[in-house]
Amino acid sequence: MKESLLSPAITIYGAGYVGLVTGACLSKSGHTVRVLDIDRGKLDSLAAGKTPFFEPELDHVLAEAIAAGRLTFAHPDDACADAPAPAHAPGAPATPFVYIAVGTPSTAAGSADLRFVRDVIDRLAQTASSGTVVVMKSTVPPGTGTAIAERLAQRGIGYVSNPEFLREGSAVADWYHTDRIVLGGQAAHVDAVATLYSDIDAPVVRCDITSAELVKYASNAFLATKISFVNEIASLCEITGADITAVAAAVGMDHRIGPDFLRAGIGYGGSCFPKDTRALDYLSRFKGYDFNLLRAVIEVNARQRMLPVKALRDRLGDLAGQRVAILGLAFKPDTDDTRESPGMDIARMLLAEGALVTGFDPIAHAHIDDEQFTACDTLEAALEGVAAAIVATEWPCFVSADWSALIARMSGPRIVFDGRNVLDQDAIHAAGGTYLAVGRPSTP
């Protein structure tokens, strides 16, 4: 296939959350981008203009870029898929860029699985032309990039660590309103990559590769620490009779602490915090360092999602045959991602106790294919005749729901466990329900 003069100046390996958002936003900024992925089903979906996952705004940005001819998709094995844009292509920057945005999931031991990264590096070490700059967006353990950079340098290929700080559900906004852009590598390569972000109003932190890699893990580990810390304080609230929503609000007013990531509940999930905290703990132990605080963060978080099951067992006794609804299956609102979702783990724990489980999620329900688990199409259907409901994700539709009507559909003790401390406990109590929460006074 003849390489068009308008060949993409930027190639991205990985059409997942990070790769697609990176490709869409770089295209929106005027660059020409080709996104490569080994999943042909995903490529077909994208070619049809459909984002393979729910991410507000992404559909629109992708559609614009595709229509403008600035964004294309291909399989790495397709002819010339690897050939970075010729430097002379009109509008292409002098240096072709190849982003790596493939997954680095957890291995069973908790370390970061780098096989997909290695596959791309092996390919690039053979095919990328001298002068190319490889930009690492995937989250890789500190110390990974220096070895890659040395290998690529032998072919005149540059390497920059450029960790991302995108949150699912607000990824496009986070791209353009980031607090900082972190670029680790040799100055010339870092300066070249910085030119791609000239339309983003954020400070650029220039540092070495390993420091840039550790910034990513330290940022996520600190945010996870805030969450587990506030959940520990919530446990003290349970013991002392204090209300965590009042305590956290006042603590967060200290400008040195800040209000964000101080919402107590059944803990963090998703594809990042669990994976990155485990990988940092693994790396620490592998290097002979005992990161006590981080291990405590992980242990506290694992305990939080057990709270609703323990509370129901305390109130209902044997859960076998009891009907329970899980409200919220995605790990947080504005996403359909159920990876390490507390709601899904709670459903599994209840099923293991012999409970009869229904579930509802306004977006993720379509992704539930667990045969033991009835994923209902409506909130009302999920609550019909159940003894207890657990709010596992703070979807707005649960907060604004008419709980007096919903509780009327329930039966027996009508327990509502508010796993995200977002419901009006007085309204639930007034409707004859029993309100339980995390670190808040429960219905007597």
Catalytic (active-site) positions: 272
- Beta carbon nearer to ligand UDX, 178 or 411: 178
d(C-alpha 97, C-alpha 13), whole Å: 11
CA atoms within 13 A on the CB side of 195: 14
- Beta carbon nearer to ligand UDX, 82 or 340: 340
- Beta carbon nearer to ligand UDX, 9 or 101: 101
d(C-alpha 52, C-alpha 16), whole Å: 8
CB burial class (10 A; 0-12, 13-18, 19+) of residue 65?
buried
Rounded to 5 degrees, φ, ψ at 210 are: -65, -35
- Is residue 264 helix, strand or coil? coil
Give the length of the chain: 444
- Beta carbon nearer to ligand UDX, 32 or 335: 335
What is the smallest separation between the CB atom of 368 and ligand UDX, expressed in angstroms? 17
What is the smallest separation between the CB atom of 439 and ligand UDX, expressed in angstroms? 12
What is the smallest separation between the CB atom of 267 and ligand UDX, expressed in angstroms? 6
- Is residue 197 helix, strand or coil? helix
Distance in angstroms between the alpha carbons of the first and the last residue of the chain = 73
Sign of CA dihedral 316, 318, 323, 327: positive
Give the max Cα distance, the chain: 74
Best CA proximity match to 9, nearest among 113, 154, 131: 131
The residues facing 183 across adjacent strands are 206
Contact set with ligand UDX (CB under 6 A): 164-168, 220, 223, 227, 261-263, 265, 267-270, 272-273, 331-332
d(C-alpha 443, C-alpha 277), whole Å: 35
- Beta carbon nearer to ligand UDX, 95 or 277: 277
